[in-house]
Chain A
Amino acid sequence: MADTPPARVTYDFVTRAIARTLGNPGKGYFALLAAAVALLGVGITCLLFLLRYGLGLAGYSHPVYWAVYITCFVFWVGIAHSGTLISAILFLFRSGWRTAVYRTAEAMTVFAVMTAGLFPLIHIGRQWYFYWLIPYPNERGLWPNFKSPLIWDEFAIGTYFTVSTVFLIMGLIPDIAAVRDLATGWRKKLYAITAVGWRGTNEQWRHYTRGYLYLAALATPLVLSVHSVVSWDFAMALVPGWHATLFAPYFVAGAIYSGVAMVITLLVPIRKLFHLEEIITIHHFENLAKLCLLTGLIVSMSYCTENFTAWFGGNPHERAAFWYRAFGPFWWASWTMNICNGLLPWLLWSKKVRTSVVALFVVSIFVNVGMWFERFVIIVVSLAGEPFERFANATYNPTWADWGIMAGSFGWFFMWFLLFVKNFPAVSISEVKEVLPAPRRGKAVAA
């Protein structure tokens, strides 16, 4: 490992430092939680209006019928991706530094998929028919169309949600047991039930470590497939700006990019609120920043490739679509995307920026904004500039209902996340210990 932990970071120190996050978190935490619940309230109010008055409240105008809700859907699915990257792919690569950050990333994954899953339901308008998405024959004996990428998407997201939840819970079990053995009162009972009898016996570890390895091996191709499938929702259509074979890798890189940025956005306040500076060190942030830089460069390269193909391919519609993106009425969205995703990550080449928590936090916020606009540009701007629609009215503007529901989704996500970090170990206890030197005789604390 690049940095050896200080000698006082022992097994006992780790258990107690992480168990402390379950204690009284102070006023700052409750203020954040209240803000998240308030945002969720705004979202629910807007959704109730949408249910009462219908999709006319969303700013849809022909031909833009996929707009903010689908943008939010892709945004949140994207956020969900770095969690599994950090927990599964880096696990297979045996990266020791993942241990301090992977629990946060995994929890973020689960809650982001939960948030993303709401948007197709909001988008369909008649939410009470959501079960039509499930593969079963309708009253005429018709089955779903498995050649449609939308059905692939449902299977992919459903599998992703199930597997990432299972992965999170699996990782939690030994840590809940560690907390159970320290807790008292009703908490001890709660953790005793949720630890499902974990005692760290050799038989338990034998099956657990093997099973974890296979889960990681299954989750790795899954994470790559899920955002590829999301990208095919667009790439399988003929709309200029969507119909590109580049989409799958481009979306996967973008998803990991935005996800890593969100992990940084979440870890900075958690580390501060729960005093985890000795467990989540600057070394971890620097590694996250490097991951962010790498994926950011892949995303920038995809932007270049996309524009180059549009010009070099010689298809007038494709060229027009990209010209419309950059210089049409939505120029502000495209340039926000280009600046936040393409230019700002270059700051991360500097070690000073990578090792400054405040600078990283600011960059990560811009990346989040940029990645939201990337999806907005791909979805809304491509539709608005569609050349096949001779009578197109491209003056699409999101309405208060769109913005309110989007804000509500952030409230929903942060509410779950904050509740999680308060009630369950937000950093893996057993895996952080795994990268520490084990206590040995003759050497008082660590070797």
Chain B
Amino acid sequence: MKLVNPLTAIFHPPPTPGVLGVFGHLDAALEAIRQLRKGGHTDFTVYSPVPRHELEDALDQPVSPVRMFTLIGGIAGCAIGAWLTLYMSYDWPIVLGGKPIGSIPPYVVIMFEMTVLFGALSTILGIAFNALFAARRLGTVAYDARFTNDKFGIFVPSESARQSQVESLLRGAGAEEVRRA
């Protein structure tokens, strides 16, 4: 019986067949994205060394769900801060400085700090989970080391029958290099 490492399934999904185009110019990559979307391609991957608003606009993706993670984390942090201070004060009530046992104004400081702490940590989790889920959905897609330096790239998943059509589309848009994966 062959045992499969569950981490391999998450981090190294099976390779996806498709075509990879390397672009030296931003406007050429934008042109290719526009044509691909017109041609009905949806799940292609765009690589870029920097985040560019032009790419965002061309891809027109929905706003990242990371914001929900931040919101929920922040609210949870605030609640934990309130619980921590109030529960601990009432668990062994001692009057300090003539103030009420559970006095909210000084506890706001703790609540605020916990809001920020939990909000920030859940934002990180949100980015990690969302990026990981996207990577799993797309499978192992072709990559080129120049994409973190100065080239833009587009990987279009496609069956071998349609690959030559995609190839000519990418070349027509101005790809410097096109290869099958």
> Contact at B150–A11, with CB atoms within 8 Å?
yes
Q: Give me 10 A-to-B residue pairs in the complex whose CB atoms sit less than 8 angstroms apart, sorted by A's number.
A: A178-B149, A181-B148, A201-B47, A203-B134, A205-B55, A206-B56, A207-B126, A211-B123, A214-B66, A229-B109
* Cα of A214 to Cα of B127 in the assembled complex, Å: 11
> Contact at B109–A152, with CB atoms within 8 Å?
yes
1/0 contact trace for B13-34 toward A, CB 8 Å? 0000000000011111000000
Interface centre among A156, A200, A433, A434 (most CB of B within 10 A): A200
List the A residue with the shortest CB-CB distance to B28. A441
1/0 contact trace for A159-178 toward B, CB 8 Å? 10011001100100010011
**In the complex, chain A residues whose CB is within 8 Å of the CB of B55:** 202, 205
> Contact at B27–A441, with CB atoms within 8 Å?
yes
Q: Does A309 contact B (CB under 8 A)?
A: no
Residue positions of B touching A, CB distance < 8 A? 11, 24-28, 45-52, 54-56, 59, 61, 63-64, 66-67, 70, 74, 84-85, 88-89, 91-92, 94, 96-97, 99, 103, 106-107, 109-110, 112-114, 116-117, 119-121, 123-124, 126-127, 130-131, 134-135, 138, 141, 143, 145-150, 174
**In the complex, chain A residues whose CB is within 8 Å of the CB of B146:** 181
Interface centre among B11, B74, B120, B141 (most CB of A within 10 A): B120
| Contact of A201 with B45 at beta-carbon distance under 8 Å, contacts A155-B113, A181-B145, A222-B116 already known | yes
List the B residue with the shortest CB-CB distance to A170. B124
**Beta-carbon contacts under 8 Å, A210-229 to B:** 210-211, 214-215, 218-219, 221-222, 225, 229
Q: Does A146 contact B (CB under 8 A)?
A: yes
1/0 contact trace for A133-150 toward B, CB 8 Å? 001010001111111000
* Cα of A135 to Cα of B64 in the assembled complex, Å: 36
Please give the number of chain A residues whose Cβ is less than 8 angstroms from any Cβ of chain B in the complex: 61
Instruction: State the main secondary structure of chain B at its contact with A.
Output: helix
* Cα of A207 to Cα of B67 in the assembled complex, Å: 9
**In the complex, chain B residues whose CB is within 8 Å of the CB of A147:** 96-97, 99, 103, 106
**In the complex, chain A residues whose CB is within 8 Å of the CB of B48:** 200, 202, 205
> Contact at B147–A200, with CB atoms within 8 Å?
yes
**In the complex, chain B residues whose CB is within 8 Å of the CB of A218:** 70, 74, 116, 119-120, 123
Q: Does A269 contact B (CB under 8 A)?
A: no
List the A residue with the shortest CB-CB distance to B24. A439
CB < 8 Å neighbour of B117 from A159, A202, A205, A440: A159
> Contact at A203–B66, with CB atoms within 8 Å?
no
> Contact at B150–A199, with CB atoms within 8 Å?
no
List the A residue with the shortest CB-CB distance to B54. A438
* Cα of A151 to Cα of B85 in the assembled complex, Å: 11
CB < 8 Å neighbour of B106 from A146, A180, A209, A430: A146
**In the complex, chain A residues whose CB is within 8 Å of the CB of B84:** 135, 146
List the A residue with the shortest CB-CB distance to B65. A207
**In the complex, chain A residues whose CB is within 8 Å of the CB of B74:** 218
Interface centre among A207, A222, A439 (most CB of B within 10 A): A207
Given contacts A12-B150, A152-B110, A152-B113, 15 further A-B contacts (CB under 8 A): A137-B88, A146-B89, A146-B110, A147-B97, A158-B113, A202-B55, A202-B59, A206-B64, A208-B51, A209-B64, A215-B120, A215-B123, A434-B50, A438-B26, A440-B25
**Beta-carbon contacts under 8 Å, A427-447 to B:** 430-431, 433-434, 438-441
